[in-house]
A and B are shown apart, each in its own frame.
Chain A
């Protein structure tokens, strides 16, 4: 079992729709959770971090964390073609700066 799992996609949504990206992790002691966006040929860009159970909203983005289910999600409201990218889920465990990444979900927003 991979430590961090994401659906590879591609996930295709129409412009203006809600895109839902999911991630599960295996290590129960994981404490910090991050979503990165990576455009083709670019480096990952941090878009959300979440540390406690529940929802965290930032503009059109909402991150959801359920530690009991070991599940993290990212919702993108009013999706735009510029949101088309690969979204990487990353998990940090106790004691240090090691991030464990999922394989990423490719999102395509169609005009």
Chain B
């Protein structure tokens, strides 16, 4: 099976802009979770989607949002970018409930 794919892999944006990241889960996996990884805070949970519904949400401001489509593909959006949003954004897919498998990530740099 193909693994989790994320696009784009690298992104440079300016403060105040918005960005959309995409994730395609492993075939047959219906749950998609998003995480932010920074050197200072480590890996932090953003949100989880299952069957197009947000099932869990982490402690991030409303500028961070996401959605899931009927084919389980997911997008996350960050509006009004801040310097502190520079991070590796990771998507993980899993079966209904189970182990999570990470994609390669999107490296976002905000200047």
- When A43-B105, A46-B100 are in contact, do A98 and B33 touch as well, CB less than 8 Å? yes
Number of interface residues of A (CB under 8 A): 19
- Our pick among A43, A90, A96 for the contact of B90 (Cβ within 8 Å) is A43
Are B90 and A97 within 8 A (Cβ)? Answer: no
Contact B43 A44 (CB under 8 A): yes
* Interface class of chain B by DSSP: strand
Write the nearest CB–CB distance from B103 to chain A, whole angstroms: 6
Please, how many angstroms separate the alpha-carbon atoms of A42 and B102 in the complex?
A: 10
Q: Are A43 and B104 CB-contacts (below 8 A) given A96-B48, A104-B42?
A: yes
Interface size class of B (residues with CB under 8 A): 20 to 34
9-residue interface stretch from B13-21, B50-58, B70-78? B50-58
Residue of A nearest to B42 (CB): A103
Contact A98 B99 (CB under 8 A): no
A12 vs B90: C-alpha distance when bound (angstroms)? 28
Using CB atoms and an 8 Å cutoff, list the residues of chain B in contact with chain A: 31, 33, 35, 42-45, 48, 50, 55-56, 58, 88, 90, 92, 94, 97, 99-105
A sample of 12 more A-B contacts (CB under 8 A), given A97-B31, A101-B35, is: A34-B99, A43-B90, A44-B102, A46-B100, A46-B102, A88-B43, A97-B56, A97-B97, A98-B56, A98-B58, A100-B45, A101-B44
